[in-house]
Amino acid sequence: MKKVIVLLLLMIGLNADNEGFYASVGIGANKYSSKNQDSDGRDKNTLTSVTGKVGYVWDRFYRLGGILAYDGGSGSHTGDSLPIFSEKVTQEEQKGLSNTRITGEVLGSVNLFGRSYFSKETWLYINLGLGANKEKGGYTPMETDMLKVYIPIEIDGEVRVSRSVGINYLLGYAYMPIAKMDISGEIHRLVSFVDGAEITFKDGHRIKAELGISYYFENTTSFFLKGGAEYWIMGESPTYNALSVITYRYVNFYYPHHESLRVGMQAGFSF
């Protein structure tokens, strides 16, 4: 029975960091798409991604780490309407549109396998922390600059399948209590905002998953290759008063329910 329990733990477990400082750096590419509810328009971008991690592990049990990531590239918008206020805005397909995002997270972690006899090669961390990302993008008639603040909770790590090869994975959820969006661009030719062009969101959710493989050159140095996906869903913003520049009448401005998906690959080194 004990052997069965140990085997099950090894199957679901993750590879342990050595004690002390650790760091990793990776570079890759993502496919990004986003869509607003009640609109047939969609953004599609190809992004280059760079991610760095650094942290410290105590006693193979506690971990404190930080993540800094950048995504950037260009793409296109397809679709013919955006229901941002009481009258829909006609769109045409546009190409060469940029999208950039900078993400930072601080995570505290506990190894559920603790100091057990196999924890040097197999571990299961639960992460809890605070994150934020700043994303810029958009299309005619408007460009957006959004700051999200969120609380992630995750499990992550690696199963060592041999002395030099490990299987990594991560599964996480994040709740976004608040986000701020600044709106600029040609939309100001259509409407004048009564209280400024800053939109507040108070309900968002993220699902994130990664799966990869690591090859160890030495005990603490490895090359990794991983794939991942990140899905965001955000509720509709409150309604704001705006003055139509065309009709000189007040209109109800809002940013609709929004969904986005990033799928990509990344390679790099861990130390």
Break the chain into its structural domains and give their ranges.
Answer: 2-265
The C-alpha torsion from 192 through 197 and 201 to 204, rounded to 10°, is 100
Which H or E run contains 7?
Answer: helix 2-12
Structure confidence at residue 9 (pLDDT): 34
**8 A C-beta contact, residue 22 and residue 241:** no
Structure confidence at residue 174 (pLDDT): 97
Q: How far apart are CA 65 and CA 28, in angstroms?
A: 21
**pLDDT tens sequence across 143-202:** 778 899 999 999 998 888 888 899 999 999 999 998 888 776 556 556 665 555 677 888
Structure confidence at residue 59 (pLDDT): 82
**8 A C-beta contact, residue 223 and residue 214:** yes
Q: How far apart are CA 15 and CA 12, in angstroms?
A: 10
The C-alpha torsion from 179 through 184 and 189 to 190, rounded to 10°, is -20
**8 A C-beta contact, residue 109 and residue 83:** no
- DSSP code at position 192: E
Q: How far apart are CA 68 and CA 132, in angstroms?
A: 10
Structure confidence at residue 178 (pLDDT): 87
Q: How far apart are CA 88 and CA 252, in angstroms?
A: 12
Structure confidence at residue 6 (pLDDT): 38
Where the chain has pLDDT below 50, the residues are 1-17, 80-81, 83, 85-87, 90, 117, 140
For the chain, percent of residues with pLDDT exceeding 70: 69
pTM of model > 0.85:
no
Regarding the domain with residue range 2-265, which homologous superfamily does it belong to in the CATH classification?
OPCA outer membrane adhesin/invasin (2.40.128.100)
Structure confidence at residue 14 (pLDDT): 37
**Secondary structure of residue 6 in the 3-state scheme:** helix
Structure confidence at residue 184 (pLDDT): 65
